[in-house]
Amino acid sequence: MTIAPKIDAAGATPLATQTTSRHFPARGDAPLLIEIDGHGDRLRLAGREGLSAEAELTLAADGVSGRLAITQPDGLHPAEADVLAALIEAAFQSRSALLRLELPDFAGKPALAGLSIESGGTEGAADAIVTRSLFYQLPLLWRQAGRHVAYPAIRSGLGPVDRQPPLRPAQPNGEIYKRWLPHLGMTLSLRTIDRRRDLDLFHHWMNQPRVAFFWELAQSREELDRYLAAQEADPHLFGVIGSFDEEPVGYFEFYWAKEDRLGPHYEPEDFDRGWHGLIGNPHHLGRAKTLAWFRSLTHYLFLDEPRTQRIVGEPRASHHKMLSYCADVAYEKVKEFDFPHKRAALVCCERERFFREIAL
């Protein structure tokens, strides 16, 4: 099931109240702002002295294909890749049914070298082709590259003896992901939890009855400090604070599934990932925002490690609302099984299906 804002018959996302989109280069530079006209067919970079970008979007009759005619930049310098990525993302955001973009006369240009794997056109035209499913897997925007390091697949002696994982990279630090959500008009971000800074907030959230029912961590500050300290020493997981427009909203844990408690209950691959989460800020409850977290957390994990082909989870089998969220974001229920503390459902999200079906 594709999750997307409501669209009209032509595939256009309503833009009456949103004329500027925000785009976050992976290298950590300041956000790029793209102004979109009221019909969503003219795009222009705003607020950057000495840097220009303009494009015009034309939709095909089917509404799923389009042409993005870029006037500026010309794509001849590799450093223009960020601006081109921002224009492309703005086009996909303005038309949530759009699956494929042709960029006239851009095939083979240096700035597009890491963006397009196809070319098209007739009578000698050199049009680059960018698909939505490919674009959102590329490390150009969203995931803050400077906070991560790539590790080779070196076998490690750390972890369960029956499920030896590769050597895992050190936990990232600081802000790791940022994405503008046009249907909410908000910026979603993730930063690693800092127990020196976040302990009071973590303690408050964990002691809310609705959170404690699922997490079973309604404990003292001292006990929760030890919980976070143990997490810092564990190479198979790390915790993050998720925010909307810099306001803390929820807590999430990302883990490598092979050496997690879930590992013995299925046949894990080395780079399978999983996550747990809670919305601690009651002002941001509701299906639309919760689905935004499901999409973004899954997106981050696929971006973080290109070798990850599956995101897995183990919600309570009786938690029907959680399972309905999973189903709406391309997670398939595989089976049910028993942990000592709960009857769980194994859910799995495949990379190819996620990027094919889910409109980010």
- Whether the CA torsion 282, 177, 114, 105 is positive or negative: it is positive
- List the domain boundaries for the chain: 20-135, 172-357
Q: Over the stretch 283-334, which tens digit does the pLDDT of each residue have?
A: 999 999 999 999 999 999 999 999 999 999 999 999 999 999 999 999 999 9
Distance from C-alpha of 320 to C-alpha of 314, rounded to nearest angstrom = 13
Residue 41 CB contacts under 8 Å (≥ 6 apart), including other chains: 56, 57, 58
CATH class held by domain 172-357: alpha beta
Q: Over the stretch 199-233, which tens digit does the pLDDT of each residue have?
A: 999 999 999 999 999 999 999 999 999 999 999 99
Mean pLDDT computed over every residue of the chain: 90
Contact status, residue 203 vs residue 224, Cβ threshold 8 Å: yes
Contact status, residue 351 vs residue 302, Cβ threshold 8 Å: yes
What's domain 20-135's superfamily in CATH? Gcn5-related N-acetyltransferase (GNAT) (3.40.630.30)
Nearest to 160 by CA among 235, 253, 239, 229: 235
Residue 48 main-chain phi, psi, to 5 deg? -125, 100
Q: Over the stretch 80-121, which tens digit does the pLDDT of each residue have?
A: 999 999 999 999 998 889 999 999 999 989 999 888 877 776
Residue 35, strand partner residues: 20, 44
Both tokens of 18, joined, read 């949103």
Contact status, residue 160 vs residue 47, Cβ threshold 8 Å: no
Tell me the whole-structure pTM to 2 decimals: 0.91
Contact status, residue 68 vs residue 57, Cβ threshold 8 Å: yes
Q: How many residues does the chain have?
A: 360
How distant is the alpha carbon of residue 119 from its chain centre? 27
| Relative orientation angle of helices 320-328 and 287-304, to the nearest 10 degrees | 60
Maximum alpha-carbon separation in the chain: 71
3-class state of residue 85 by DSSP: helix
- Other C-beta atoms lying within 10 Å of the C-beta of residue 64: 14
Name the pLDDT band for 17 (thresholds 50, 70, 90).
very low
Active site residues: 314
Name the pLDDT band for 125 (thresholds 50, 70, 90).
low
Both tokens of 80, joined, read 């223009």
The reply to whether 172-357 shares the fold of 20-135 is yes
